[in-house]
Structure 1
């Protein structure tokens, strides 16, 4: 027997004044209502109602119990109503984990427009380039960039992420423009420490050939720092165009070996469950889809050195 159903049966008998009227209101037989109340009395070890052929009367224990039961049932109904509101309307706090550089460069306008469309959603954005544990750390969504491996998480593709190799005109004047991968062996490299190692990224191996890096190379876990360093003429980088595309378009960087460009990665929205998805999460994923364009707006640049 469900304890909550028994409590509802008891309190309905109290408010209606009889088992018959309570049964009509609950849509069940008087015998079942009586059974619920009797089982409840057995579990509590106390008589809650004195029954007569015409009416029921609360005992002292029943009177005290009825007050507490009504409060419990009201709290349950309020909780159910709030959860239903969360499912039907986009509201509540949306916790998002996102890569640092992508978020600082491209996420703020999207979040502002999303909140204008869904003003009842509060955003808690945490920036981190490490792979967070969505469930353990309490995130609703994690934005991830890469070639996602199979996992129990649900991943929604948002946009392609193009990678290019580039350096400043000043650096290339001093060290020469490589014409083939072999010539990369004599150059300085600025490497992103979280760069994936994958067959889909053959150029990644070029950026650190064994024993070939000159002194003055750099490794960093932030792409924007590497971008500023490479524009100062410090070496060669492979970076996503959402970081370096504008600098290429302005002539501050030149693309190296475009015919050997690595395979594109992807920007994904990753979340824990497909079923019973909260409306705030579903609305945000739907809002992101197609937002950045196809191709993404950060790829709409011309490399002056290619013309």
Structure 2
């Protein structure tokens, strides 16, 4: 049995939520789609889907396999498309959406280097920390940070994003340095507006504590919060691409280093379109290779 066809069938069932809808999407019979998925489960010796008379749900193993299958099929399609695009001219206007602080601090050099490689691509950069609908707003590629949930979009990992807990030396001298996350509730917290209220601090011994922090300032821009912390306004939890320079210069001090939140990831996100435009493919490939596993802002 063709493993690629079985993988496509499994992906369609997860995406559509039923065998009948998947069969319509693939133009196959429901019986054949079910046979493909059953063959996969037997081959892998694990259950991928929970089936009832009313609905189909994906198991934990199925979710992990779904993500890997999706990436394999994307990579295969992109490899085939890239071969057909080798002779195509990379040009046109590329619309990119990116977070405000990351864009202003770290995208300029990348964009200049990209245009040196592809001089006939004009870039329209739109900076916002709000999540935008890239299809409705005509965005070719979005740079996003966090945990992605929308499986209808393609996400290519760019680099890990570490988070640091920081305060100014003057603030810590005046109010004391917390020795554990529990003590953070006694401090002024400068909150990023798009962050969830509850943080999970992962200790080195795997112990975790959930806290609801008292925020004295809330803002939708990480640089403003970082500057407020430098001026003694309180404690921040911000990505190191924002805090790294201030930490290196002694304006901020990292605290609770054994409890820092787990790293996030940065992704290049784009709509899944067959025969992806050369300008989009070239930019995604470029940005994915640009920063590496340890980006320069974490090398202070």
Q: Distance in 2 between matches of 1:196 and 1:274?
A: 32
1:139 counterpart = 2:139:
yes
> CA RMSD of the aligned region, Å?
2.2
Aligned residues: 212
Q: SS of 2:165's equivalent?
A: strand
1:238 counterpart = 2:244:
no
Q: Distance in 2 between matches of 1:166 and 1:280?
A: 39
Q: Is the 8 A contact 2:92 2:120 kept in 1?
A: yes
Q: Is the 8 A contact 2:162 2:262 kept in 1?
A: yes
1:300 is matched with which residue? 299
Q: Is the 8 A contact 1:87 1:277 kept in 2?
A: no
1:112 counterpart = 2:112:
yes
Give the deviation of 1:87 after TM superposition: 8.2
Q: Is the 8 A contact 1:93 1:122 kept in 2?
A: yes
When residues 205 and 266 of structure 1 are mapped into structure 2, their CA distance, relative to the original with a 3 A threshold, is same
Q: Distance in 2 between matches of 1:127 and 1:188?
A: 29
Larger radius of gyration: 1
Q: SS of 1:124's equivalent?
A: strand
When residues 288 and 229 of structure 1 are mapped into structure 2, their CA distance, relative to the original with a 3 A threshold, is same
Counterparts of residues 202-213 of structure 1 (less than 5 Å) = 206=211, 208-209=212-213, 213=214
What stretches of structure 2 of length at least 5 have no aligned partner? 1-83, 203-207
Q: Is the 8 A contact 1:167 1:256 kept in 2?
A: yes
1:75 is matched with which residue? none
1:265 is matched with which residue? 264
2:148 is matched with which residue? 148
When residues 165 and 142 of structure 1 are mapped into structure 2, their CA distance, relative to the original with a 3 A threshold, is same
1:180 is matched with which residue? 180
Q: Distance in 1 between matches of 2:88 and 2:137?
A: 25
1:22 is matched with which residue? none
Give the deviation of 1:182 after TM superposition: 1.6
Give the deviation of 1:282 after TM superposition: 0.6
Give the deviation of 1:273 after TM superposition: 1.5
Give the deviation of 1:293 after TM superposition: 2.6
- TM-score for the superposition, normalised by structure 2: 0.66
Q: Distance in 1 between matches of 2:257 and 2:89?
A: 47
- TM-score for the superposition, normalised by structure 1: 0.65
Q: Distance in 1 between matches of 2:283 and 2:191?
A: 33
Give the deviation of 1:249 after TM superposition: 1.1
Q: Distance in 2 between matches of 1:201 and 1:125?
A: 34
Q: Distance in 2 between matches of 1:197 and 1:157?
A: 25
Give the deviation of 1:86 after TM superposition: 11
Q: Distance in 1 between matches of 2:259 and 2:274?
A: 42
1:72 is matched with which residue? none
Q: Is the 8 A contact 1:168 1:253 kept in 2?
A: yes
Q: SS of 2:290's equivalent?
A: coil
When residues 196 and 86 of structure 1 are mapped into structure 2, their CA distance, relative to the original with a 3 A threshold, is farther
Q: Distance in 1 between matches of 2:198 and 2:288?
A: 26
What stretches of structure 1 of length at least 5 have no aligned partner? 1-83, 302-307
Give the deviation of 1:196 after TM superposition: 3.9
1:47 is matched with which residue? none
Q: Distance in 2 between matches of 1:98 and 1:156?
A: 14
